[in-house]
Structure 1
Amino acid sequence: MSADAARGSGTGLTPDDALTEVLDGGAAHAAGLGADYGRLWSALTDASAGGKRFRPALVVTAHDLLGGHLAGPAARVGAAVELLHTAFVIHDDVIDGDHTRRGRPNVSGTFAASAAAAGASPRGARTYADTAGILAGDLALVAAVRSVACCGAPPATVERLLDLIDRTVHVTAAGELADVRLSLDLDDAHVPLGDVLTMCEHKTAVYSFELPLQAGAVLAGAEETVVRRLGEIGRLVGIAFQLIDDLQGVFGDEAVTGKSALTDLREGKHTPLIAHARSTQAWPAIAPFFGDPDLDEARADLVRELLVDCGSRDFIEDLAAGYLDTALNVVRETGLPGEFLDGVVALTRDLLRRAA
């Protein structure tokens, strides 16, 4: 993704600028709403910091390469997509019971520490932490929708963008709930890999890749056929991204990823990696440790070794590479500009490096 794309096609407004406007606007309410709101919005602002910002870059890049002339609105929609991501991440951390993100306390962790320091009981601190996470995520979600509604694009374009946002929130909610349901392991029968991949598509691919690419196309006034094809590209790349992310959730270096490499195993997350492992002879040896809330590093290392030996890690890496190759083929078939193909290739290489 080019630097010019990140700058909003020379308008001077970047998605980061637009995001800062939103966050500063929310902070301005603190004087009238009191200290509780101030702390909550401050935690939300911290949660939005960092990250590669590839989602806003996808919005702006798609808009620019398709010949769009709404650079300012594209930057604001890019900021909205990043806020949507922040909302989902904050809520996901509440669901998973995680108190760290990117190597530092997240919203829930910040409020849990504050409550504990003030003398709250463990249960009280957890309730306070979860409440803050839910509310901060809600604030980010509303801010995202408002940013789209006020982006400055023509009314018909804004309506189409809001349709995309609406669908995205519904699909992502379904994917998140499916993720938790699968982790309950209520079905005696083995859950097909296809069902797990669908969950991954709904939980991550739609909002991280489909939405930004399609939003950029809509802002550029692209034909509906192109918008649909970009959605397909986003779906394929997004599934690959989630596959790699799931690998990082088990094999990743916490110092690099910023998240625990024990959480998915402890919580019994039914990822494609686990779906494949369940179909191998290694599963009886893995099963006693899977979903164990007290799993330690020594036993996790044993699980990792088994996942490598049974071929599950290689299978997921190959599957991710296959999705990315298919995405590249769709880019070529759609006749998108060569620069767009270069951007997808660069993203492909980055994803594969993360899996190494």
Structure 2
Amino acid sequence: MAEPDSDSSTTCSSTTAITPSSPAVGYSRNVDPQDLVVSAQRRQKHVDAVLDRFFSLAKNRASAIGPRYLTLWQTLEKNTAGGKRFRPGMVMGAYESLGGTDFEAAAHVGAAFELLHTALIVHDDVIDRDFIRRGGVNVSGVYRDIAQTAGIPIPAAEHRGLSVAVIAGDLALFNAYRLIDRSGVGELMRSRLHDIFDEAMFASAAGELLDVDFSQLKSMPTVEEVVDMERLKTAVYSFESPVEAGAVLAGASDEAVRALAGFGRNIGIAYQIVDDLLGVFGDEAATGKTTIGDLREGKRTVLIAYASGRPEWIEISRWLGLPDLTWEQAAVVRRSLEDCGARHYAEELAREFANRAAEELASDALPDRARAEFEPIIETVLGRVR
């Protein structure tokens, strides 16, 4: 798997802000945009079909053991369904844009990354003791509610919910590897895909550990440390590894694989920085994400790491991390983050990493179809910070 860039500098002084109309992302295209839309819809259907078959077989096996086990698999399936299939789209976009034609194999690899994502968010919710995700109860929440309905006291009910979520996450993680095994590819290719998948999981675990440590340590991490944590925890398995897997599966050259992996790594970091910005300054109606949760949690982000070295930190630190932080107090924190330049810094840093992603995408090793495929992701990320 391609290693991260050795130059991990996060300064923005030399960054040129880029927009969708700038030369950095203004490639000429020989691909009809409508073709990309149709391709995306077809890919999602392929992945959905793979996951439907997988869960159907698993539920049949579970029903032979008993109704409680069947309920667990039904709950896990529900928590996997309904997403945008972003990671499978990255796999299949890389695969097809580099000449791959075995859509069934690519759909299995894409579905493996989707199931990996399910496993990681289920376990992440356990770590955070969260019972809600995207406005609805998650696996932990479902089983907490079942226990409470049965008359079990809240602390014990919550423990049961979290315990079952660990089991569900374990099942999703193990079977993600099994989906790669069922892709029908040869032994050598399967081994290469396993290595990429293993690196995705290995990196994500390291990033999760850093995130847990950051939340418990009194000292504030540096911007560089936060960026590295976000790269490891999310960018690798959500962006870098999926496009790398798709490129390898397509039989692309080493240069093309490295270019797409570099694109994925950098745009993944940009995406996470923007996500943290939206967690404080976003439009809740548009993002569906609360703008007070991260402040109540005291989440260590680029915004917070940068602000910790500014005079305004005295005011920010008074309120950051208060579980009962009010909207008025949150507004004070937001103003201070803007006044100290943290918001501007984070926006520029996201643009810098998006710029790096665009440079990787400009590689001569990649065909125009690959650039047409992934340019919109850069445009989307940049559009979120405008």
Please classify the TM superposition score into its range, dividing by the shorter chain length.
over 0.9
Provide the residue aligned with 1:270 in structure 2: 300
Distance 1:295 1:132 in 2: 31
Provide the secondary structure at the position in 2 that maps to 1:191. Answer: coil
Counterpart of 1:214 in structure 2 is: 244
Tell me what 1:116 maps to: 148
Query: What residue in structure 2 maps to residue 7 of structure 1?
Result: 42
- For the pair 1:103 / 2:135, whether they are aligned, the reply is yes
Please state how far the C-alpha of 1:253 moved relative to its aligned partner. 4.2
Percent identity at matched positions?
42
- Deviation larger for 303-312 or 138-147: 303-312
Helix, strand or coil at the partner of 1:39: helix
Contact 1:272/1:316 (<8 A) preserved: yes
Identify which range, 232-241 or 294-303, moves more after superposition.
294-303
User: What per-residue deviation string (whole Å, max 9, x for no partner) do you get for residues 26-60 of structure 1?
Assistant: 22123122232222212211111222212111111
Pick from 184, 199, 216 the counterpart of residue 184 of structure 1: 216
Equivalent residue number for residue 57 of structure 1? 89
User: 2:108 is aligned with what amino acid?
Assistant: R
Q: Report the counterpart of residue 322 of structure 1 in structure 2.
A: 352
Deviation of the 1:80 alpha carbon = 0.7
Q: How many residues align?
A: 351
Quick one: which amino acid aligns to residue 75 of structure 1? A
1:352 equivalenced with 2:378 (yes/no): no
Deviation at 1:234, TM superposition (A): 0.8
Q: Distance in 1 between matches of 2:174 and 2:289?
A: 26
Q: CA deviation at 1:279?
A: 1.8
Aligned with 1:333: secondary structure? Answer: coil
Q: What is the Cα deviation at residue 198 of structure 1?
A: 0.5
Say which of 10, 27, 31 aligns to 2:59.
27
Q: 1:313 corresponds to which letter in structure 2?
A: R
Q: Which deviates more from structure 2 when the two are superposed, residues 273-282 or residues 31-40? A: 31-40
In the other structure, the counterpart of 2:259 is 229
Structure 2 vs 1, CA of residues 127 and 334 (structure 1 numbering), >3 Å: closer, same or farther? farther
Residue 49 of structure 2 corresponds to which residue in structure 1? 17
User: TM-score, normalized by length of structure 2?
Assistant: 0.86
**Letter paired with 1:7:** R
Counterpart residue number, 1:162: 194
Q: 1:185-204 maps to which residues of 2 (within 5 A)?
A: 185-187=217-219, 190-204=220-234
SS in 1 for 2:264: helix
SS in 1 for 2:188: helix
Indicate how the Cα distance of structure 1 residues 104 and 259 shifts in structure 2: closer, same or farther if over 3 A, else same: farther
Point out which structure has higher relative CO (alpha carbons under 8 A, 6+ apart).
2
User: How many angstroms apart in 2 are the aligned matches of 1:252 and 1:122?
Assistant: 33
Q: How does 1:14-93 map to 2 (within 5 A)?
A: 14-93=46-125
Q: Measure the CA separation in 1 of the matches of 2:286 and 2:72.
A: 27
* Distance (Å, rounded) in 2 between the aligned partners of 1:232 and 1:147: 25
Given that 1:103 and 1:259 are in contact with CA atoms closer than 8 Å, whether structure 2 keeps it comes out as: no
Q: Tell me what 1:138 maps to.
A: 170
Task: Give the conservation status (yes or no) of the 8 Å contact 2:259–2:366.
Answer: no
Q: Give 1:297 deviation, angstroms.
A: 2.7
Whether the aligned pair in 1 keeps the contact of 2:87 and 2:114 (CA below 8 Å) is yes
Inter-CA distance 4–263: structure 2 relative to 1 (3 Å threshold): same
Measured on the aligned residues, the alpha-carbon RMSD in Å equals 1.9
Which runs of no fewer than 5 residues in structure 2 stay unpaired?
Answer: 1-35
Alignment CA distance shift 1:98-1:346 (3 Å): same
In structure 2, what residue type is equivalent to 1:243?
A: I
**Partner amino acid, structure 2, of 1:164:** I
Instruction: Check whether the contact 1:266–1:291 (CA below 8 A) recurs between aligned residues.
Output: yes
